[in-house]
Amino acid sequence: MKIEVAYAKPGEQVLLALDVLEGSTAEQAIRQSGILERFPEIDLEQAKIGIYSKPCKLDQPVKSGDRLEIYRPLIADPKEARRNRAAKKGEAG
């Protein structure tokens, strides 16, 4: 069955199409895609993954047409970043 594996980092986005066996898990699909060799910084034990933006676990079976996404860790807390931007606007205004 056909699925896609997606990964993005600043300046580079990759979307790999591949065929996997029926019943394959997310982890099996990621490993089969070769993306871990292309991006050795991906640590599957730590990385968050999802299917079409919905979080899933490595043992989640994939279905035909799924887009499996590997997420990078956040470098800043979104709430804190928003507070900082708001504070800077307040100082400028």
Nearest-angstrom CA–CA distance, 58 and 24: 10
Nearest-angstrom CA–CA distance, 9 and 76: 15
Give the pLDDT score at 76: 62
CATH at residue 38: 3.10.20.280
Give the pLDDT score at 78: 66
Give the pLDDT score at 85: 77
What domain count does the chain have? 1
Residues spanned by the domain of 78: 2-92
Give the pLDDT score at 93: 57
Three-state DSSP string of the chain: CEEEEEEEECCEEEEEEEECCCCCEHHHHHHHHCHHHHCCCCCCCCCEEEECCEEECCCCECCCCCEEEEECCCCCCHHHHHHHHHHHHHHHC
Give the pLDDT score at 87: 79
- Residues (pLDDT < 50) of the chain are none
